[in-house]
Structure 1
Amino acid sequence: MNRTNDIDNLMSRFGESAASYIEMENSFNYKELPEPPVAAAAAIPVGTENSTVAVPPQPVENSDLQPATVATTVHPLDRRVEPVLDDLLESASVDDSLCEPVSVPASACSLRSLLAEVALERMAEARAQNEEALRRSIPNGSAAVTPARVIAVVSPKGGVGKSTLCAALAGALGAKGSRLAIDLDPQNALQYHLGVSPDVAGMASASLTGECWSGLLLDGIGGTRVLPFGPVSGQERRALERFLEDDAHWLARQLARMDLAADDVVILDTPPGRTLYLEQVLDVADQVIVVITPDPASFMTLGPIDRLLEGRTHQARRRDCHYVVNQFDASRTFCQDMLEVLKRRFGKQLVGVLPLDHAISEGLAFGVNPLLEDEDSSARQAVLAIADALKSPVRTSALAGSRAS
């Protein structure tokens, strides 16, 4: 039996002839019977696993026994599955109010702007005042000279009792006129030694506004008149120091404006070390007192200040430079040796030695100054001896010579 007879026998069973047979070509060489065509897969929501779903075959009805038509097989992986986003968008919807930026109330923004404008105007006004004060404090021409006697108390380092001695000398120096103690040290400590109320307007703020110092003098212990440095901010202090830097005779002009008499005595308290204030003081001082302590720290800092006092600018006043040793403890051999070294170095320029007296620092806590009020204090007696040495005939003639030069 050949292939043709097989086809005839097969078709005759269905009541057809071999002429109705159609040969179909298939590109797939299946070893097994091919699976029936897969119906279109249902839409799969996003979030489920996108795996191949097997769909059971559907029976094909061919009641009319028409010639079989083979449909093209579509593989499940060749069909694109469109995601359904409706459920996802509904579940992922976010309240729109949460996405809106937080707005600052209009009143707060307005107040902030107004405060900023006020601050800027205040700063501009302060700068204008400083510039005006600077312009008035630097007049053209040579520096004026006050007729009053000016004594500067300086030190190469802090912690030696400089302000303490300055206050004591202001009360001990006998003068027919006024005795003025002016604090040029930003530490503003001189007022406490002379019993002046703290935190009052002082020299610094008056200088920034161009005010004359005479109207700010306060009554202190022992008949003294005190001008504190006064509390200032860091910005105000820097502005003041620019005045000192721009005008080498700034202090001389300030003292000249006070209209002091020849019988008046001015004691100037200065910051320790070499500063702009010290430069100004050396420009006006008739006598300079250097305060040191009998210890290696003070001795090692003498070089810079000695060179400054011996500079060409201050040659005329070099002979009126004096030294005072403070806080001398006679019970210690080392202090005795240090005092001997200092005596050999300074010679006649050493005009006094103040003994160590704890009552001086303790009295400050109670508003008492033993150097001005305790007649039995050995330290007060030493201060009186220093005051006499400063106003001796020899010192007076030297002072007159320096003024004439």
Structure 2
Amino acid sequence: MSRTDDISNLFSRFGATSDSYHEFDSQFDYPNTPPAQVKSPLPAQATAPVPVGLPLVAPAQEVLVQPEVQAPLMSSADVATPLRNLLAEVALARQAETQSLQAQLRTPQCKARVVVLVSAKGGVGKTTLAASLASSVRLEGGKTLAIDLDPQNALHHHLGIASGVTGMGSTHWSSHLQQGFNDVQVLPYGVLSDEQHCALEREMSQDRHWLARQLERMALGTHDLVIVDTPSGRSAYLQQALDVADQVLVVTAADAASFIALEHMDRLLGADVARSYVVNRFEPDREFSRDMLQVLKRRLGAQLMAVVVQDHSFGEALAYGHNPLAAPAGSAGGEGVLQLGEQLKTVLQGTRAAGISAP
């Protein structure tokens, strides 16, 4: 097929004829290889045309490179300082940082004897018993301090202290101690706002030795005694108290609910925590109460330290703001508390002697 036929077919496809088509010969002689084209640089703000059919691509954004953080340059005074002095300053700063880290890692030491009262359930008279022991037990040559770690904030009422006093929310505990019955020093839990309460529990959760550090700052002596009341069941307060405890007293009652809760108490304390049990509010006139006491004795064995009978004079003393142990004629419940206190002193003195003789 000739070139003329190709042109005729092309015009026919578009519905036209090639009668008016004429070719003109070019007068220019083009070389076979065109010279290389040199592209001129575009202005900074110029935008190249986008070819048709290609996807649009956003122009690259300018990347800012942040300079490295460097130590501050020496001042003219530093330059004039002898090198040995500058090195000494660096060594002192490193030593202070090391001491701060060691202080955080060091386990704080409390010289006083610490007795912690716990219970698996409420209603067994734990706080009443804690107040009675605090006001009646004192080691020779020392003082007794009662600390309320229970947010119910009830311990100070049993020790004759007015409401509304500052407690756990204070920074320096030593300056906020209250005077209770028989010269016992009392640190109430206090009235805390929701924010203060959350902040306190957050501190406890972040520092497992929080309570130990607080007691260490109080500079207690080896003859001092600390009685700690805790809320029933599992809590951050219980874990803090167990961390410092020399003696753990589990307060229970001679009833079915308390017996069932003993297994839960064993799980809370774990196998490594030594504990003694006190059956409180025992009712000797009731046959069922006597039977339950026998069951508890079989269950607890040598861990049962004492049995304190039910005594309504403790509730009456709380109502009138009196010390229930100050009555001339001792009640049955009061006698039980005093006997428990003597047993407790014997145990604490034994642990102290063992600690002194240990290598």
1:200 equivalent among 165, 173, 194:
165
Q: Deviations over 1:263-322 (max 9, x none)?
A: 1100001001111100011000000111111111111111122133334xxx3x51xx11
Mapped pair 1:149 → 2:109: no
Equivalent residues in 2 for 1:352-371, closer than 5 Å: 352-371=306-325
Equivalent residues in 2 for 1:26-45, closer than 5 Å: none
Contact 1:172 1:372 in 2 (8 A): no
Contact 2:145 2:227 in 1 (8 A): yes
Mapped pair 1:220 → 2:173: no
Q: Which has the higher contact order (CA 8 A, sep 6+)?
A: 2
Mapped pair 1:397 → 2:350: yes
Query: Alpha carbons of 1:253 and 1:346: their partners in 2 closer, same or farther (altered >3 Å)?
Result: same
Equivalent residues in 2 for 1:3-402, closer than 5 Å: 140-175=104-139, 176-203=141-168, 205-206=169-170, 211-311=171-271, 315=272, 317-318=273-274, 321-373=275-327, 375-392=329-346, 395-401=348-354
User: What is the distance in 1 between the residues matched to 2:329 and 2:155?
Assistant: 21
- What is the Cα deviation at residue 165 of structure 1? 0.4
Structure 2 gaps, min length 5: 1-99
Q: Percent identity?
A: 48
Letter in 2 for 1:361: G
Contact 2:254 2:279 in 1 (8 A): yes
- Paired residue for 1:29? none
Contact 1:213 1:258 in 2 (8 A): yes
Letter in 2 for 1:161: G
Letter in 2 for 1:181: A
Letter in 2 for 1:182: I
Query: Alpha carbons of 1:278 and 1:400: their partners in 2 closer, same or farther (altered >3 Å)?
Result: farther
Letter in 2 for 1:339: L
- Equivalent residue of 1:272, what SS? coil
Runs of 4+ in 1 over 3 A off after TM superposition: 371-375, 398-405
Q: Deviations over 1:98-151 (max 9, x none)?
A: xxxxxxxxxxxxxxxxxxxxxxxxxxxxxxxxxxxxxx9x95122211100100
User: What is the distance in 1 between the residues matched to 2:142 and 2:350?
Assistant: 19
User: What is the distance in 2 between the residues matched to 1:356 and 1:249?
Assistant: 36
User: What is the distance in 2 between the residues matched to 1:254 and 1:395?
Assistant: 22
Query: Alpha carbons of 1:301 and 1:282: their partners in 2 closer, same or farther (altered >3 Å)?
Result: same
Letter in 2 for 1:296: A
Query: Alpha carbons of 1:165 and 1:199: their partners in 2 closer, same or farther (altered >3 Å)?
Result: same
What number of residue pairs does the alignment pair up? 257
Q: Deviations over 1:378-397 (max 9, x none)?
A: 111111111111122x5533
Q: Deviations over 1:190-210 (max 9, x none)?
A: 01000011111112x11xxxx
Letter in 1 for 2:111: P
User: What is the distance in 2 between the residues matched to 1:402 and 1:283?
Assistant: 17
Q: Deviations over 1:163-206 (max 9, x none)?
A: 10001101111322111001000000001000011111112x11
TM-score (norm 1): 0.60
Contact 2:179 2:186 in 1 (8 A): yes
Contact 1:157 1:272 in 2 (8 A): yes
User: What is the distance in 2 between the residues matched to 1:322 and 1:331?
Assistant: 25
Contact 2:113 2:348 in 1 (8 A): no
User: What is the distance in 2 between the residues matched to 1:396 and 1:345?
Assistant: 27
Highest CA radius of gyration, 1 or 2?
1
Query: Alpha carbons of 1:305 and 1:349: their partners in 2 closer, same or farther (altered >3 Å)?
Result: same
Contact 1:291 1:326 in 2 (8 A): yes
TM-score (norm 2): 0.68
